[in-house]
Amino acid sequence: MTAPVLDGAAPAASAAGTVLRVVVVNGSPNQQSKTMGLVDVILSALGEIVPFEASRIDVYRLGPGFTGATGRDDVTEEVEAALQRAEQADLLIAATPVSHGSYPGMFKHFFDLVGQYALTNKLVLLAATGGGDRHALMLEHAMRPLFGFFQALTVPVAIFASAGDFDGTVLLNPRVHGRTQMALADVAGLLKARVHPG
Amino acid sequence: MAFEIGVMTFGEVTKDPATGARPSPRQRVRDTIEQARAADQVGLDVFGVGEHHRSDFVGSAPSILLAAAAAVTERIRLTSSVTVLSSEDPVRVWEQFATIDLLSAGRAEIIAGRGSYTESFPLFGYDLQDYADLFREKLDLLLKIREQNPLTWNGRFRAPLVDADIAPRADGTTIPVWVGVGGSPASAISTGRLGLPMALGLLLGPITFHEQTVQLYRAAAAKAGYDAQALPVSINAHGFVGRSSQHARDVMYPYFAQGMMENNHQRGAGFALSRPVFDAQSSPGSGLLVGSSQEIIDKLLAYHELYGLTRAIIHIGFGGMPQQEHLEAIERLGTDVAPVVRREVAGRVVAAA
């Protein structure tokens, strides 16, 4: 199994096209992030199922070449590379904290720059963290419609964790681990169907 | 393990909504020690003082109040409820509670908490951003100090200890360290993993509020190799024992409502607890321990049955309460409630064995 690479750079080996390319789009502004604590759990559970190479795009660290862009033509090369990486993923993990009742504007700004048909039929796993359980439906009421616009294939089970499920950024609540297993069982089925259609 | 019943206070210095009178801090520290003595005399098992760094409580230094209580009591256990360990130096906490342990001939205990009030963090120069890391590290140090002396230890938030002699030691073999848990799954799990006794805090809500907390705690403890059923668990809830159901609610309500208004801030203002809401929170299915002696007996037994508790500590006088009413509630709890609950729980334990 290939160890997950989370250095933000595109994995070199993915050019061969044989290893599953997982790209995490991270909507958290924090270096020490519960959202990434949740993604660590998801990737580690995914590693039990299928080999993959992962990379991560931190939308809050893409810089002025990203924040100053009002359209795809305005972005810098590095941002263009990040957008293409997301568009070419085999599995996109859209992970963000709930902020002001939805995903943060910076997260939306990234997807505003993604091509309208660039995510068509793409496998997208939704994950979010929030201060309490009352934020959980953001995944269904805000995140899923966003990928509905893109005509992406969102995984049926979205994964949510509350602040109280974490010690610092380490996810402790076994119920969230269970929810993750359930979501990934569907991911496994969908991946299998894509490799062996019919 | 015999079922233990106790009382706790924050040393409230609050204006009486009925008379407009505000007790002086001097009066309140003396009231607090008198409550400890009264609780001891009626045979209660535990007396707790909470830590708050504000003018409306005299409990910024609970260890000093507990030391004074040690001098006027004989049998009752003396605990912080809680020690805000995240903003404390565990070396100092140990020294203070070990001293109380000597003064009281082995009756000191610590409930270590993260703190639901945040005033102590800037006071002692800590960053709330480090909330989780501070507690984890300081609890680790406190437990190491308890285990071994001299101690060599390294951490992020204080200078390293090299072969440090930390004295005095406990009067007996150890000082119990509980962890205060408000209900977040992660606190319950990390407490269970350490095999430490868990003190459940309940402000308002259904009596079943902590079912998942206790399940997660016991599962984590069992997974870490501890005998999960043998670990002590306590409930710490607000309450008042009155002459009758009506008397208890009538006495407690105005003070408790004031406490909620002055402490439970949201949108920068307090939370108005109406009488019907308070009455609902006092029903058999809710967590508040307010009522006649018989009601409190029933509710403590219900708590015991739900969670397999070993201890209940009632916080009397949140929002301020006249000392006379406070002392009478302690007396009813010690003389009418505690003996019945202890006997009934002992009967259950025998039946289960």
pLDDT digits (tens, 9 = 90+) for A84-96: 999 999 999 999 9
Question: Are the C-beta atoms of B35 and B72 separated by less than 8 Å?
Answer: no
Residues of B in contact with A134 (CB under 8 A): none
Joined together, the tokens standing for residue B298 give: 């029933």
Query: Taking residues B299-314, what's their average pLDDT?
Result: 96
The reported pLDDT for the residue numbered A15 is 43
pLDDT digits (tens, 9 = 90+) for B1-24: 789 999 999 999 999 999 999 999
Residues of B in contact with A174 (CB under 8 A): 189, 216, 219
The reported pLDDT for the residue numbered A7 is 46
Q: How confident is the model at residue A16 (pLDDT cuts 50, 70, 90)?
A: very low
> Is A166 in contact with B216 (Cβ distance < 8 A)?
no
Structural domains in chain A?
12-193 (3.40.50.360)
Question: Are the C-beta atoms of B57 and B106 separated by less than 8 Å?
Answer: no
pTM of the model: 0.91
Nearest CA-CA distance, residue B163 and chain A, Å: 30
The reported pLDDT for the residue numbered B266 is 64
Question: Are the C-beta atoms of B61 and B109 separated by less than 8 Å?
Answer: no
Joined together, the tokens standing for residue B45 give: 């098992």
Write the CB contacts of A134 (distance below 8 Å, at least 6 apart in sequence): none
Mutate which of A31, A129, A171, A172 to test chain B, going by most B C-beta atoms within 10 A?
A: A172
The reported pLDDT for the residue numbered B118 is 86
Nearest CA-CA distance, residue A139 and chain B, Å: 21
Residue A14 has pLDDT above 90, yes or no: no
> Is B184 in contact with A163 (Cβ distance < 8 A)?
yes
pLDDT digits (tens, 9 = 90+) for B119-162: 999 999 999 989 999 999 999 999 999 999 999 999 999 999 99
> Is B189 in contact with A173 (Cβ distance < 8 A)?
yes
The reported pLDDT for the residue numbered A13 is 44
Do the bridges between strand B83-84 and strand B46-49 make them parallel or antiparallel, or are there none, so unpaired? unpaired
Residue B144 sits in a domain whose CATH number is: 3.20.20.30
- Closest-approach residue (CA) in chain B for A174: B216
Distances in whole angstroms, Cα of residue B334 to Cα of each of B293, B296, B319: 10, 12, 22
> In this complex, which of B133, B183, B189 lies closest to A172 when CB atoms are compared?
B189
Nearest CA-CA distance, residue A66 and chain B, Å: 28
How many contacts (CB atoms, under 8 Å) link A and B?
Answer: 33
Q: How confident is the model at residue B268 (pLDDT cuts 50, 70, 90)?
A: confident
Torsion-angle region of B191 (φ positive above 0: left; ψ -120 to 50: alpha; else: beta): alpha
Task: Quote the number of domains for chain B.
Answer: 1
Write the CB contacts of B353 (distance below 8 Å, at least 6 apart in sequence): none
> Is A165 in contact with B133 (Cβ distance < 8 A)?
no
pLDDT digits (tens, 9 = 90+) for A31-44: 999 999 999 999 99
Mean pLDDT over all residues of chain B?
95
> Which of helix, strand or coil describes residue B205?
coil
**Pairwise CA distance, residues B269 & B281, whole Å:** 21
Do the bridges between strand B198-202 and strand B177-181 make them parallel or antiparallel, or are there none, so unpaired? parallel
- Closest-approach residue (CA) in chain B for A168: B132
- Closest-approach residue (CA) in chain A for B191: A167
Query: Taking residues B349-353, what's their average pLDDT?
Result: 74
Mutate which of B184, B187, B266 to test chain A, going by most A C-beta atoms within 10 A?
A: B184
Residues of B in contact with A168 (CB under 8 A): 132-133, 136
Mutate which of A167, A170, A175 to test chain B, going by most B C-beta atoms within 10 A?
A: A167
**Pairwise CA distance, residues B175 & B177, whole Å:** 6
The reported pLDDT for the residue numbered B348 is 86
> Which of helix, strand or coil describes residue B265?
coil
Query: Taking residues A17-43, what's their average pLDDT?
Result: 95
Question: Are the C-beta atoms of B110 and B100 separated by less than 8 Å?
Answer: no
The reported pLDDT for the residue numbered A198 is 61
The reported pLDDT for the residue numbered A1 is 38
Residue B69 has pLDDT above 80, yes or no: yes
Residue B297 has pLDDT above 50, yes or no: yes
- Closest-approach residue (CA) in chain B for A172: B186
The reported pLDDT for the residue numbered B350 is 78
> Is A168 in contact with B132 (Cβ distance < 8 A)?
yes
- Closest-approach residue (CA) in chain A for B136: A167
Domain membership of residue B45 as a residue range: 4-352
Nearest CA-CA distance, residue B338 and chain A, Å: 34
Q: How confident is the model at residue A47 (pLDDT cuts 50, 70, 90)?
A: very high
pLDDT digits (tens, 9 = 90+) for A165-183: 999 999 999 999 999 999 9
Residues of A in contact with B189 (CB under 8 A): 167, 172-174
- Closest-approach residue (CA) in chain B for A166: B186
Mean pLDDT over all residues of chain A?
92
Residues of chain A with a CB closer than 8 angstroms to some CB in chain B: 162-168, 172-175
> Using alpha carbons only, what angle is made at residue A138 by residues B183 and B266, rounded to the nearest 5 degrees?
50
> Is B184 in contact with A175 (Cβ distance < 8 A)?
no
Distances in whole angstroms, Cα of residue A69 to Cα of each of A62, A72, A74: 11, 7, 5
> Is B189 in contact with A163 (Cβ distance < 8 A)?
no
The reported pLDDT for the residue numbered A18 is 77
Residue B79 has pLDDT above 90, yes or no: yes
pLDDT digits (tens, 9 = 90+) for B152-211: 999 999 999 999 999 999 999 999 999 999 999 999 999 999 999 999 999 999 999 999
Residue B351 has pLDDT above 90, yes or no: no
Residue A4 has pLDDT above 50, yes or no: no
- Closest-approach residue (CA) in chain B for A176: B185
